[in-house]
Chains A and B, each alone.
Chain A
Amino acid sequence: MAFYEQHIHPKPTTFLSKYIFSYDHKVIGKQFLWYGIFFLFVGGLMALMIRWTLAFPGQPFPVIGQFLFPESGGAVPPDTYAMLFTMHGTIMIFYAITPILIGAFGNFCIPLMIGARDMAFPLLNMLSFHIAALSGIILLGSLFTPLGAAAGGWTSYPTLSTLIGSPGVGQTFWSLAIFVLGVSSIMGAVNYITTIITLRAPGMGYFDMPLTIWGLGLTAVLNAIFLPVLGSGVMLLIFDRVFGTTFFLAGAAATTGTGDPILFQHVFWIFGHPEVYILILPAWGIVSDLLSFFARKPAFASRATALSMTAITILSTVVYGHHMFTTQMSPLLTQTFMTLTMTISIPSAIFFANWLGTIWKGSIRFHTPMLFSLGVVFVFGLGGLTGLYLATVTTDLYLHDTYFVVGHFHYTMAASVLLGGFAAVYFWMPKMFGTMLNEFWGKVHFWITMMGLNGVFFGMMLVGYGGMHRRIYNPFIYEFTQKLIPLNTFTTWSAIIMGLSQIIFVVNFVHAVFFKKEKATANPWEVGTLEWTIPSPAPHYNFKDIPVVKCGPHEYGNPNLTDGRDFQYQTEELV
């Protein structure tokens, strides 16, 4: 199948060529992993400051508040609050989740799982990381500009994001950072798609690829098509801010000859809705595989799963209007978008039923990666269902811009993608770093995270349903929201618990990467995909001989298996 055989590169020897300017997809994957974990920390800290402000308005943030906000005695000031939720959203979506799921696991898994020695374009791959790093520096730099970082929300709607709404240079930096990151992601996407098309091991058809690769591949397709849309949008925003054009300045073109802020919303969501699937598809793929791996059963109807993911990918391009029901869209359009959005339920339901079908009557091994995967099944179920209320025009008119939306997308993105990411880290850890994470502490991490997370995000949905709007510094100045104070306090405590429990993970991770003596075996989880046929950690050339694929990735529990194993490798003939 592979178009050609890649050569074995000589082993890099110097520090720079090994860790900084490496062409090796595994090293680049790890770079993205550290990058993502770093930003997860920064974004998480911001989230805690936001939550603190909502639960204890006016009180100083513990420990670091005095240093960060000395002029207000340690409490988060109103303008900083807007900056915090903007940067929190931006960082989590573009600089934490994207690098971890797509940058780290995309890079790490694609060549290993399809039996290739590296990406199709290793140099492009390396540049993609360095450009992402540049973008991260621009974004962090914007925090130190005179008027502070961007504060117009992660969606950066004009007029909030034009010079009228945010005169500081921070918003310009934000736009530039997103643009640069987009370039990096598109480079990655081109690489991923080309690799998947041209470098699959001999014998591996598209349906013999693990579902992880399906998810990552579909994500790459959406990235290549829709990131340029955002790129154009933020570029015009930069023009408006720097060169004085008036694309998004208020006033209808017909009467005043100036631009239209709503146009930016269209452009943003044409990209933005596919973006939410860009984030979730890799997690879906990973979870679909892991459920089968740990239930010791073939993935139920895995072709249907792959095709449903494809159908969702295609449909996700035509539903973006559901984010704009309240922008005085014509009822014809809102209802069209509502119907199209509802149509996604069909493949989603097939897909979700397949997950349940996979674990049904399996002999489930509750290892940490499986716990996280089951967690994804639970939280994604909730997140997906709440989407239906938002997609219904009549209910959305009430729920739009409340904390219900915030709860919805945290269940779908923060919860599902984060848990999926953790599942992946625990699962591929031996292949990445050659050691296993501690199972006991992994389970503790899971349960505390899971409880904290549901407390936070369910709390958000409840206060949103109660009418609390998002992005307000002190929502309790309204009388009807004062009853929601206890619930907000509960949410904040849940967030603090969830945040603190990540320390368990960090310690576990750092210990396993740097200090653990005990090495992992080549195939600790007893899984048959190609990356488990080679030693742990994967050698720099991956496969000494390019493997030949003879069966699918989910061959478990076949009664014809005789040698005491309940799985078979993809390189083995189906028994």
Chain B
Amino acid sequence: MATGNLTLNEEKIEVRRRALTSSVAMSIVMVSFAMVFATLMLGYFAYRFTSEVWPPMGMQRVDLGLPTVSTVLILLSSLTYFLSESSFLQKNSKKFKAYFWLTFALGIVFMAVQSWLWFSLKKNGLFVGSGVFASMIYGFTWIHAAHVVGGIVALLCLIPSVRNKREEVSTSLWLKNIGMYWHFLGIVWVIMYFSLFVY
């Protein structure tokens, strides 16, 4: 994309600077997303610390099984994303693709397990309207899930890269920026897992 008679070296610098620009933007976006979940957590801890017994009203804790599976899945997907990105940087196209599709699949399975979680909560008598404890379990997991769906859509944006339709520099840029978001979703889920379900 360099203009006119830039030498090769200058061209590289130019590309790196464009990359820097998009990372600046992506970092700001991440701050915004972090504030969304920080607000939810603030609400959670406000309720949690003003309540003598938790969960309130003699409600049952949520069985840890499914949330634990979700945690493992989302952490694995972060790992595979990382492996995919580093394979790409090492120019191992085969591994890059394999790990990418694995990440994608793990994202989908994560969503499936979340839906299963909501279904089983309902079956065990914890309804959306059963008080603030249920509100938080459902509301926060919904919001997180909506962001995961966004993340899956973002992964779809990488498909041109997977099909070699994109320049190398620009793929590494996409990988980096989408990666920030994908890992962020994992971190948020882990925090939610420990605060909402374990603690």
Contact = CB atoms under 8 A, between A and B. Distances in A.
A266 B57 CA distance: 24
B56 A198 contact: no
A256 B57 contact: yes
A243 B140 CA distance: 13
A546 to B, nearest CB: 12
Interface string A283-297: 000000000000000
A409 to B, nearest CB: 24
A258 B132 contact: yes
A247 interface: yes
Contacts of B46: 260, 263, 266
A120 B25 contact: yes
A246 B130 CA distance: 8
A338 B47 CA distance: 25
Interface string B24-44: 110011011101111110110
Interface in B59-116: 59
Given A245-B139, A266-B46, A232 B39 contact: yes
B141 to A, nearest CB: 12
Contacts of B132: 246-247, 253, 257-260
B157 interface: no
Interface in A100-142: 120-121
B36 A198 contact: no
A247 B56 contact: no
A27 to B, nearest CB: 22
Nearest to A186: B32
A239 B3 contact: no
Contacts of B47: 253, 259-260, 263
Interface stretch (A187-195, A359-367, A372-380, A529-537): A187-195
Interface stretch (B12-20, B163-171, B180-188): B12-20
A267 B40 CA distance: 9
Contact of A224 (B21, B31, B53): B31
Contact of B135 (A252, A259, A266, A270): A259
Interface in A1-21: 3-5, 7
Interface residues of A, number: 44
Interface string A61-74: 00000000000000
Which among A193, A235, A253 has the highest number of chain B CB atoms within 10 Å? A253
Contacts of B125: none
B3 A258 contact: no
A315 B57 CA distance: 40
Decide if the interface of chain A is mainly helix, strand, loop or mixed: helix
A198 B22 CA distance: 10
A197 interface: yes
B51 to A, nearest CB: 4
Contacts of A94: none
B14 A247 contact: no
Which among B17, B51, B132, B139 has the highest number of chain A CB atoms within 10 Å? B132
B174 interface: no
Given A189-B28, A224-B28, A257 B36 contact: no
Given A194-B24, A224-B31, A245 B128 contact: yes
Interface in B119-153: 128-136, 138-139, 142-143
Nearest to A8: B3
B36 A232 contact: yes
A198 B24 contact: yes
A235 B128 contact: no
Given A227-B32, A228-B36, A253-B56, A121 B129 contact: no
Interface string A229-241: 1011101100110
Contact of B129 (A224, A232, A246, A270): A246
Given A198-B21, A253-B51, A260-B46, A4 B35 contact: no
A512 B134 CA distance: 59
Contacts of B7: none
A257 B39 contact: no
B50 interface: yes
Contacts of A575: none
A486 interface: no
Contacts of B20: 3, 198
Given A224-B31, A254-B56, A231 B36 contact: yes
| Closest A-B pairs by Cβ, 8 of them | A257-B57, A257-B131, A245-B135, A232-B39, A228-B35, A3-B17, A244-B129, A257-B56
Given A190-B29, A198-B24, 18 more contacts: A120-B21, A190-B28, A194-B28, A197-B24, A224-B28, A225-B31, A225-B32, A228-B36, A228-B39, A229-B39, A232-B40, A239-B135, A239-B139, A254-B52, A254-B53, A258-B131, A260-B132, A267-B39
Interface of A: 3-5, 7, 120-121, 186, 189-191, 193-194, 197-198, 224-229, 231-233, 235-236, 239-240, 243-247, 252-254, 256-260, 263, 266-267, 270
5 contacts: A4-B14, A257-B133, A260-B46, A260-B132, A270-B39
